[in-house]
Amino acid sequence: MTKNVLNSKNFQKGGMSKKIISASLALAIGFGALCSTEKAFAGTASSPDVYVNGKQITFSSDSAPELFNGTTMVPISQIIPSMGATVVYNGTTKESTITDNDGTVIKVTIGSKTAYKNGVPFTLPQAPYIKGGRTMVPTRTFSQGFNHTEVNWDGSPNYVVGIVHDTFKFPIIMYHSISSAAPTGTGSGAEMPTSQFAEQIAALKNAGYDGISFDEYLTYKVTGNLPSGVDKPIIITFDDGYENNYTEAFPILQQYGMKATMFVVTNQMGQTPGSLKHFDWNQAQIMKNSGLIDIQSHTHDLHKKHDGVTGPASQSLLSAPYYNETQTQYEARIKADLQASYNAIKNNIGIGNTQTLAYPYGQTNATVEKVALEVGFDLAPTVKFGVAFQDSPRHQLDRITANEGQSGSSLLAEIDQYSY
């Protein structure tokens, strides 16, 4: 049984059904597979597949996960190391002591449904037991015992258990045009009234979120260190580089001291390719000099789709070759464009330590990601709904689109519902 990760409705905006039913599927692919591939799940009712932070765990045959009285049981010693924790078993008391990297101590005992988190008891759905010489515990041990941990189950026909164990999640919010003249009642992610944008930024700030740059996110990926004083990181992004990002959004970001990243089509700087003008290099420099705004790439001239005659109309010029284009020619063409974009930013306003690429329309493939890395783009967000974690793939960072008509509290609720 396969599930196409591009077409699955469960990866789009949705309600709790997405979280409960398919979050484990998202785990299975969200941290390690390209979104253009399919993933086959081999789990069965007698032995479910188990993923921790998107990485499948391999078990010995004598202690494989199993369903016992309706509860998923897993060998604790083979799960815990993947969570960055340690476990010690006392053969005399038949007690396992788990110590997480944040200092949390969990104790479970063979034959007892009562477990302890830092000395406080909680009840497990099934008592631990021994199988193949290993202690089998219910997966709820992790969601109840650890901090910042969720366990999701996808039953027939996939039988997948997904465990998310991470101290910080990084919501990446996507905006486009911010204007006092933006139409209302559209629910669109393309245009938002200035007043509503201000409400959303205020709500994020009041909820304790601090804007960080992609460079600071990459530092956390590598070292585990957040910027000083940041407890709830968030990355605010704007695609396309509209002038109203400078005239309307930038003053609000300054008011709240919120950092943001603006992805620009470098061939359109200061121009009006459509109905909206784009900001110019001078305005970009002013925003960058504020210390709040990072200017990054949305390609040089590939933010458009094929015409359907010489190339697939559903795909961008970045994400698909022309019909008569060889693989070598395709790679050379997109590499030249990405290099031109990289150079334009470097030569006009300067670049920092980390370069980031936003794919036009969120469309990408393995070739694009390889070429982007060769050019020097360290990170890349998509438009697939979700949040980023420390071990998210560098060129497959999920984002959440902020929509017109969405209140500040609604945006906060949407961020909270994403567990993968």
CA nearest neighbour of 393 among 361, 353, 350, 364 = 364
> Which residues touch 167 (CB under 8 Å, ≥6 apart)?
102, 147, 148
Q: What is the pLDDT of residue 241?
A: 98
Please indicate, yes or no, whether the overall pTM of this predicted structure exceeds 0.95. Answer: no
Q: What is the pLDDT of residue 28?
A: 37
> Which residues touch 257 (CB under 8 Å, ≥6 apart)?
205, 211, 292
Q: What is the pLDDT of residue 412?
A: 94
Q: What is the pLDDT of residue 166?
A: 62
Residue 172 φ/ψ, nearest 5 degrees: -115, 115
How far apart (Å, rounded) are the C-alpha atoms in residues 139 and 256? Answer: 41
CA nearest neighbour of 125 among 112, 135, 116, 134 = 112
Q: What is the pLDDT of residue 152?
A: 81
**Cβ proximity of 368 and 318 under 8 Å:** yes
Q: What is the pLDDT of residue 17?
A: 28
> How many CB atoms sit inside 10 A of residue 338's CB?
24
- pLDDT (tens, 9 = 90+) of the chain, 420 residues, equals 222 222 222 222 222 222 322 333 333 333 333 333 334 456 777 888 888 877 788 998 888 999 998 899 999 999 988 887 899 999 999 999 999 877 889 999 999 999 999 999 999 999 999 999 999 999 989 888 887 788 888 777 778 887 767 657 899 999 999 999 999 999 999 999 999 999 999 999 999 999 999 999 999 999 888 899 998 999 999 999 999 999 999 999 999 999 999 999 999 999 999 999 999 999 999 999 999 999 999 999 999 999 999 999 999 999 999 999 999 999 999 999 999 999 999 999 999 999 999 999 999 999 999 999 999 999 999 999 888 888 788 999 999 999 999 999 999 999 887 654
**Cβ proximity of 35 and 364 under 8 Å:** yes
**Cβ proximity of 249 and 196 under 8 Å:** no
